[in-house]
């Protein structure tokens, strides 16, 4: 028999297989570009849908959970404000717990003092209001005479004619009504029962009790946040930055530093604003300048509309006190000058780019947070947005926050 030897063929040798096999082992680079794109799965097609679903879920949690979230956020911001004071007291070897206790007692004393002063000033103003009724009526009559005086007189004449006609009809029907009506039996007022007292207490105590409970919750959460700030920081690092604890620590420190600096600066600027306005109102002659100075300092924490509301209150009182209009004009000029100097000169020099927010993002943040949390959201819009921007500067997946809301687009 003749032995036939079959040569070994290397399947990886493309030159030995021939042109037909060349087409069978085409690499990805040899394939046409259109075919490669079609066959490759698109990883990330669902990413926008997931991001939108996550965004809707976060907005829903913020909106429907505002009753619980607002006190917690206020407590954390109070802890941010008091953290430098607590750290200073600890450097004096006062101890951690006594430092927290003293800082919160000081904050509570300031709040109660401001509330007491405002209450006494409002009571004094309400006692003096009857003295200004004649001036108010005179000015209202003067304004009405220049605007809709004739229309009001015409409407009054028409109303009097209708009243006369109605009076004649009532006089004609009076005998029939008198004949058919029977005198109602005399009944004395029943003594106040327990349910009446409970209803009275609910009417007058409930509106005051709810803010007091909220204030108490804020202070309790702030106490634990200050007592366990190192523990909370370590938990956040383990939760969000276990892979890179150093970077997570830097992000937390950066957010804390910027928010603390913003609150300290804003508190100093608004306090100075209130002092200048109160002194100016005292010189001009507006009653209760202490009240309006404090209200001006507090309302200036509200972006955009705070200063306007603060100016309208003393202007209205000036219109009630002064027979002319000079006091109103001087008050408006005072607020215009002080607010312009503060907003256009002092704040840019002090803040510079410390907030890191663009003017457009400040407006959008005020609208969004006001819709979510009401007036409290309007007050907290800037610090909350600042925190989001700082996080976006350090987290790659949240870089879009810094790009959209930051003062320097990247």
Crossing angle, helix 47-64 and helix 66-91, to 10 degrees?
A: 80
Which span out of 261-265, 269-273, 353-357 was modeled with the highest average pLDDT? 269-273
Round to whole Å and give the CA distance between 193 and 132.
41
| CB 310 within 8 Å of CB 304 | no
**Mean per-residue pLDDT for 289-305?**
89
- Which band of pLDDT confidence, cut at 50, 70 and 90, is reported for residue 187? very low
Helix (H) / strand (E) element for 118: namely helix 96-128
pLDDT (tens digit per residue) in 68-82: 888 998 888 888 888
Weakest mean pLDDT among 11-15, 114-118, 314-318, 405-409: 11-15
- Which band of pLDDT confidence, cut at 50, 70 and 90, is reported for residue 54? confident
- Which band of pLDDT confidence, cut at 50, 70 and 90, is reported for residue 164? low
Q: Is the pLDDT of residue 301 over 60?
A: yes
pLDDT score, position 159: 63
pLDDT (tens digit per residue) in 93-147: 888 888 888 888 888 898 889 989 998 988 888 888 787 777 777 767 666 665 5
pLDDT score, position 146: 57
Weakest mean pLDDT among 153-157, 208-212, 322-326: 153-157
Domain ranges of the chain: 66-129+212-227
Residue of higher predicted confidence among 294 and 383: 294
pLDDT score, position 228: 86
pLDDT score, position 325: 84
pLDDT score, position 66: 87
Contacts 24+ apart (CB under 8 A), 369-375: 372/59, 372/62, 372/63, 372/66, 373/62, 373/66, 373/69, 373/70, 374/66, 375/302
The model's pTM is: 0.67
| CB 230 within 8 Å of CB 328 | no
- Which band of pLDDT confidence, cut at 50, 70 and 90, is reported for residue 155? low
Cβ within 8 Å of residue 410, ≥6 positions away? 399, 402, 403
- % of the chain with per-residue pLDDT over 90: 11
Residue 202: both structure tokens together: 């609910």
As a whole number, the mean pLDDT across the chain is 76
Round to whole Å and give the CA distance between 18 and 11.
11
Q: Is the pLDDT of residue 55 over 70?
A: yes
pLDDT score, position 281: 93
pLDDT (tens digit per residue) in 191-204: 545 566 667 666 76
Residue of higher predicted confidence among 264 and 5: 264
pLDDT score, position 197: 64
Residue 361 burial class via C-beta count within 10 angstroms: exposed 0-12, middle 13-18, buried 19 and up:
buried
| CB 297 within 8 Å of CB 335 | no
- Which band of pLDDT confidence, cut at 50, 70 and 90, is reported for residue 290? very high
Burial readout 2-40 (b: 16 or more C-beta within 10 A, e: otherwise): eeeeeeeeeeeeeeeeeeeeeeeeeeeeeeeeeeeeeee
Q: Is the pLDDT of residue 45 over 50?
A: no
Q: Which of 78, 55, 81 shows the shortest CA–CA distance to 388?
A: 55
Q: Is the pLDDT of residue 175 over 60?
A: no
Residue of higher predicted confidence among 223 and 234: 223
Cα distance between the two ends of the chain: 83
pLDDT (tens digit per residue) in 377-390: 888 888 888 888 88
């Amino acid at each position: 028999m003749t032995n036939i030897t079959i040569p070994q063929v290397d399947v990886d040798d493309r030159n030995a297989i021939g042109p037909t096999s060349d087409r069978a082992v085409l690499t990805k680079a040899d394939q046409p570009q259109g075919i490669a794109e079609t066959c490759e799965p698109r990883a990330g097609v669902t990413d926008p849908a997931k991001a939108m679903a996550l965004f809707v879920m976060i907005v829903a949690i913020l909106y429907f959970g505002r009753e619980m979230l607002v006190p917690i956020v206020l407590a954390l911001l109070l802890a941010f404000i008091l953290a430098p004071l607590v750290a200073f007291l600890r450097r004096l070897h006062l101890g951690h717990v006594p430092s927290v206790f003293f800082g919160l007692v000081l904050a509570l004393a300031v709040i109660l003092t401001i509330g007491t002063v405002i209450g006494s000033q409002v009571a004094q103003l309400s006692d003096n209001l009857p003295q200004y009724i004649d001036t108010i009526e005179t000015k209202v009559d003067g304004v009405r005479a220049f605007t809709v005086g004739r229309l009001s007189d015409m409407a009054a004449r028409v109303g009097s004619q209708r009243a006369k006609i109605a009076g004649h009809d009532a006089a004609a029907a009076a005998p029939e009504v008198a004949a058919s009506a029977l005198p109602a039996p005399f009944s004395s007022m029943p003594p106040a029962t327990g349910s009446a007292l409970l209803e009275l207490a609910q009417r007058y105590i409930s509106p005051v009790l709810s803010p007091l409970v909220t204030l108490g919750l804020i202070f309790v959460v702030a106490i634990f946040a200050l007592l366990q700030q190192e523990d909370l920081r370590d938990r956040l690092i383990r939760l969000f930055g276990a892979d890179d604890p150093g970077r997570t620590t830097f992000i937390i420190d950066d957010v804390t530093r910027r928010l603390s600096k913003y609150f300290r600066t804003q508190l100093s600027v608004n306090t100075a604003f209130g002092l200048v306005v109160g002194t100016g109102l005292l010189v001009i002659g507006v009653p209760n300048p202490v009240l309006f100075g404090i209200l001006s300092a507090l309302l200036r924490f509200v972006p955009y509309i705070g200063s306007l509301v603060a100016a309208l209150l003393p202007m209205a009182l000036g219109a009630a006190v002064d027979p002319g209009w000079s006091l109103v004009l001087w008050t408006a000029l005072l607020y215009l000058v002080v607010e312009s100097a503060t907003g256009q000169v002092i704040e840019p020099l002090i803040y510079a780019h410390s907030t890191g927010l663009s003017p457009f993002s400040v407006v959008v943040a005020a609208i969004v947070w006001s819709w979510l949390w009401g007036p409290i959201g309007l007050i907290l819009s800037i610090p909350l947005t600042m925190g989001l921007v700082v996080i976006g500067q350090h987290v790659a997946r949240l870089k879009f926050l810094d790009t959209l809301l930051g003062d320097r687009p990247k």
